Amino acid sequence: MVVAACSSSSSSSTTSGTTPTSAGFNAATGSVVNASTAKGGTLTFDNSSGPDSTDAGNTYYAFNLNFTRLYATPLTTYSSSPGSAGLSVVPALATSLGVASDGNKTWTYHLKSGVTYEDGTPVTSADVKYAVERTFDRTVLPNGPSYFASLLAGNAATYKGPFKDKTGNATAIDTPDSSTIVFHLNQPFADFNYVVAFPQTAPVPQAKDTGANYQLHPLSTGPYMFQSYQLNKQYTLVPNPKWNPAWDPQVKQLASKVIVNLNVNADDIDNRLLAGDISVDQAGSGVQAAARARILSNPSLKNSSDNPVTGFMWFFYVNTQVAPLNNVHCREAVLFAANKNTLQTAYGGPYGGDIASTAIPPTVNGYSKFDLYNALSMPNGDVTSAKQQLQACGQPNGFNVNIAYRSDRPREVASATALQASLAAAGIHATLKGFPASSYYGTFAGVPTYVHTHSLGILTGGWGPDWPDAYGWGWALFDGKAIATAGNANIAEENNPVVNNLFNQLEQATTDSARVSISQQIDMQVMKDAVMLPAVYSKALLYRGSNLTNVNVNEYYGMYNYGILGLKS
């Protein structure tokens, strides 16, 4: 009688699941690693700070737009299919993508039937309308995007939200019946399906809305619901027994518990991740420098990591109002002179990002590869062309300029320093000026009058797209109408009527191909205007926990898709 290979506690590789075989470096970018339908286990997320809010109507952080789908179902969402399919919006709470009419000014959605909250109360279109209305009150829910307030017609400009206006409502939103909702916009907006993909459209029952306290226990329409929340410390989700997978095919209900630990020391998170004590780093922006070095130098660790493009870009604004940069040729000199290699090193080397040459990153629809300033062909900088441009703008011996950056971000310190060095080679003398990150947009770089008074000609910036097309990426950066007196993101103060017009056309276009073409034109024009010096298309080094199943990088979120994760049994 041959002794069969029984499941002993030896570390023999015949027992499945005990010795994880890693699928290889970058395996989760483009395909799903450890695909499985196995249920059970506890998913532990650690975060070095936390979400801006757990209230789905009050959040903007990319990782949270990803995570809130576990308990909040918006009208549309991003596809969980691997690869570039993940950039497309697909219906979630709605039965199909919105039906446009009136030249893209009216959008109609039908809700799926039978959808309820975790307590069994049915979801109605009035709940979706209410969810959007409550975000109008920026004193209670300040964090989310403000597209609804700026796009909706009717009284949107003056409506104060249901907390302050007890009797009124947003007149631009109609609910003809309990499963239909109609949005009336004040301008054509072809991208509206993207706008409703924000969790601000996840339904909220007005009778149970506690305003600023709703974040403590939002009522779930997703696969998980809140069990407990200790503010700033931890929140725990458990499976929502009322959930039906048909309501959102893009998410799964696999783990039997989800724990999120907040305010954990960032290096600690990496150590715990590598030791297998936790499942995921919720922030999803990659490991810190120490762990990165460890992972890259250790083949077996490297095989369990992924290096996806995150959808973010790091770059420098080149301001059009600060002399002599108000002359386009001086701006072009800056773009020619910059040493792209040293910039890439500053942002983390090849694993930290790819050298960028366009104003739009590759994961945005409308990206096309072009290189007006020899960023790719001469990555160490093109001093000759720079000097020609200096002649053309009347500064043959170079000029003085200030570079503003966020001094508590080591990568920005390094990149500003690298840029300073490379500009010097062309005779442009740059002085570095550091600012605190938390008030960079509010008080310094984001305040045009401050920028003018202090002659901040070049300023660091980083940006992620609200949705993956040229409008969702670049409207706030390049449209003249986006310039604000504080919290400004169009820091270069680009106000070219050509570009402004292209953005309008983008939203009136009815076909995808038209939108792509317009996006490419925007990109080209912005680069010709030399208002942005692209540095890198950012990449993150993510570590794949060995017990995780269904690991896949979603190209829109730029990190692992949190809606489908599970654990090995």
Partner 1 sequence: MTSFIIRRLFAAVLLLILVSMVIFAIFFLLPKLGGQTNYGLATQYVGRNPTREAVLQMEDQLGLNKPVYQQYWDYLRAIVAGGYFGTGSNRVYCPPPCFGYSFKNQQPVWPQMVSDIPVTLSLAIGASVLWLVGGVTIGVISALKRGTIIDRLSMTIALFGVSLPIFFTGLIALELFSYRWPIFPNVQFVPFTENPYLWAKNLVLPWLVLAFLYAALYARLTRAGMLETMSEDYIRTARAKGLSERTVIFKHGLRSALTPILTIFGLDIGLLLGGAIITEYTFSLHGLGLFTIEAVQNQDFPEIMGVTMLATFFVIIANLVVDILYAVLDPRVRY
**Site residues for partner 1 per CB under 8 A:** 49, 52-53, 60, 137-140, 142-146, 149-150, 162-166, 211-213, 215, 230-233, 261-265, 267-268, 271-272, 274-275, 277-278, 438-439, 441-443, 446-447, 450, 476, 482, 484-487, 489
Q: How far is the CB of 355 from partner 1 (least distance, A)?
A: 26
Report how far apart, in Å, the C-alpha atoms of 543 and of each of 429, 459, 490, 546 are: 41, 32, 34, 9
Residue 26 or 143: the one with the smaller Cβ distance to partner 1 is 143
Q: Helix 410-424 to helix 328-337 angle, to the nearest 10 degrees? A: 110
Q: How far is the CB of 322 from partner 1 (least distance, A)?
A: 18
213-224 core/surface letters (b: 16 or more CB in 10 A; e: else): ebbebbbbbbbb
Q: How far is the CB of 126 from partner 1 (least distance, A)?
A: 17
Q: How far is the CB of 283 from partner 1 (least distance, A)?
A: 14
CB under 8 Å to 222, separation ≥6 — which residues?
69, 70, 71, 72, 73, 240, 243, 247, 248, 251
Q: How far is the CB of 256 from partner 1 (least distance, A)?
A: 19
DSSP run (H or E) holding 64: helix 62-67
Instruction: Please count the helices (runs of H) and the strands (runs of E) in the chain.
Output: 15, 23
- CA 376: distance to chain centroid? 26
Q: Are 493 and 445 in contact (CB under 8 A)?
A: no
Residue 209 or 529: the one with the smaller Cβ distance to partner 1 is 209
Bridge partners of 78?
A: 89
DSSP run (H or E) holding 451: helix 448-453
* CB half-sphere exposure, 503, CA atoms < 13 A: 20
Q: How far is the CB of 271 from partner 1 (least distance, A)?
A: 5
CB under 8 Å to 551, separation ≥6 — which residues?
28, 32, 33, 34, 544, 560, 565
Nearest-angstrom CA–CA distance, 78 and 56: 16
Q: Helix 383-392 to helix 328-337 angle, to the nearest 10 degrees? A: 170
Residue 113 or 150: the one with the smaller Cβ distance to partner 1 is 150
Q: How far is the CB of 424 from partner 1 (least distance, A)?
A: 30
Q: How far is the CB of 52 from partner 1 (least distance, A)?
A: 7
Residue 239 or 472: the one with the smaller Cβ distance to partner 1 is 472
Residue 375 or 567: the one with the smaller Cβ distance to partner 1 is 567
Residue 13 φ/ψ, nearest 5 degrees: -80, 5
Helix intervals (H) in 299-447:
299-303, 328-337, 340-346, 383-392, 410-424
Share of the chain residues as helix, strand and coil, in percent rounded to the nearest 5: 30, 20, 50
Q: How far is the CB of 261 from partner 1 (least distance, A)?
A: 7
Residue 212 or 238: the one with the smaller Cβ distance to partner 1 is 212
Residue 239 or 446: the one with the smaller Cβ distance to partner 1 is 446
Report how far apart, in Å, the C-alpha atoms of 209 and of each of 93, 130, 258 are: 20, 10, 24
Residue 165 or 371: the one with the smaller Cβ distance to partner 1 is 165
**Nearest to 209, CA basis, from 57, 315, 347:** 57
Q: How far is the CB of 433 from partner 1 (least distance, A)?
A: 14
Nearest-angstrom CA–CA distance, 309 and 347: 13
Structure tokens at 533: 């010096």
Residue 418 or 476: the one with the smaller Cβ distance to partner 1 is 476
Residue 45 or 336: the one with the smaller Cβ distance to partner 1 is 45
Task: Sort residue 457 into left (φ over 0), alpha (ψ -120 to 50) or beta.
Answer: alpha
Q: How far is the CB of 301 from partner 1 (least distance, A)?
A: 13
Q: How far is the CB of 524 from partner 1 (least distance, A)?
A: 24
**Nearest to 190, CA basis, from 270, 299, 102, 293:** 102
Residue 132 or 337: the one with the smaller Cβ distance to partner 1 is 132
Residue 61 or 399: the one with the smaller Cβ distance to partner 1 is 61
Reduce the secondary structure of 253-290 to three states and give it as a string: CCCCEEEEECCCCHHHHHHHHHHCCCCEECCCCCCCHH
Q: How far is the CB of 168 from partner 1 (least distance, A)?
A: 12
Structure tokens at 553: 């990088």
Residue 268 or 354: the one with the smaller Cβ distance to partner 1 is 268
Structure tokens at 481: 């109408």
Nearest-angstrom CA–CA distance, 430 and 142: 37
Residue 382 or 493: the one with the smaller Cβ distance to partner 1 is 493
Q: How far is the CB of 222 from partner 1 (least distance, A)?
A: 22
